[in-house]
A and B are shown apart, each in its own frame.
Chain A
Amino acid sequence: MIRGVLTAMAALILSGCGTGGSGDASLAFFPSSMSFVGELAEKAEGLDAPEFVFAGSSRLVAQLDDGADAAVLVTADEETMQRARDHGLVVEDLGIVARNRLVLAVAPGNPGKITSVDDLDDGSLLLGVCAPEVPCGRLAREATETLGLAIRVDTEEANVRSLTVKIDTGELHGGLIYATDALAFDLKTVDDDTLAAFTTEYPAARVGNGDVGIIDYLRSPAGQAALTDHGFERP
């Protein structure tokens, strides 16, 4: 009986090994904010949909560093793509596929009565931004520094989605997030004009062998329409 158990365990372990690089579909690394692209690609006509991996941009670069076999990489800001270039991961730059605007979103009903970015200095409000280590946080910092704003935040979240959720549930009165997240959660935004200049770019690159048709698709009218539907801006 012992022998049977050990054989079964060995078979299980070995069958789990070597899944990296299996399959014919090429691998596409995309940032989490573009997770809708997966379903989009499946439905797109004339497109050989790749297998998608969605994660935070720096996590994607780290995986590529570790030898992941992806064909396409899209990052949530230029800085992360530059890191990929510095690590010698980029074979060919494929250009920007979209932009995302920084917005000041408020909790449903705007209980904090936030009307402009100047309210970010209000200590009595509960406000949040992303941590400066992540793209959304870098953009927020760029905005506040360029505009010369003093801000008093109560949290610097590790990812924009958890920040958005906290605004949506009312735990925070408001915060600086992406337009796409505000749209996804149906949150109202204020003072769009002041922040309109602050956008992050989503650069794409070829990082290995495989099909990069997904990038062509995203740049096509159909792809661009889908992106703007979700709140992205054109490149």
Chain B
Amino acid sequence: MSSIKVSGQMQRGDLSLQLDLGLEVGLTMITGANGAGKTSLLRLIAGFERLDAGHLTLDGHTVDDAARTFVPTHQRSIAYVFQDHRLFPHLSVLDNVAFPHRRRGVKKAAASARAQIHLTDVGLSEQAAIRPTQLSVGQQQRVALARALATPADILLLDEPLAAADDESRGALRELIINAPHSTVLWVTHDPDDADRGDHRIAVAEGRVEQNRKR
């Protein structure tokens, strides 16, 4: 069973994305040169971009048919880690991670408790009360990862989640992602060490996807 099916095209400035692929459950590494379209593919699946032609199906449901059907991002079962992490500056680190739970109606105390666990997983439990702006870039990225891991969803989308990670934490964080609860994980990465660890791997070059090896 394919969890994500996309067949169509998307034009964004100079980039023309031509897609015809199915992505299965498990961890898929997405590699490719800068500007090849890796982020665009992720954004398309998330719902930040629309197809110009074709259709996109998540778990059998058509979420985008380049016409009248379009399921907005917040109604798709996805979680996203941005390359520029995008933490909420007006909330503490803990409240950032608790945000997904709070939006799903979880009461403050319970949400904070769950958030604390996720923070501990990324090794930042001490920094719960401070504002994101006071963290280093690497730390902010870890909080963003914790926030995504805290989001209950079928699909986890990560755009260079470990780019700013220092070597000592990289290994632990990599394990976290590999063991994420989300059934489908798409991980855009530059790092060959990361790329080796996925169940599947696709390469994107100039808007085209080479679907290749299962491990």
The answer to A–B direct touch (Cβ < 8 A) is no
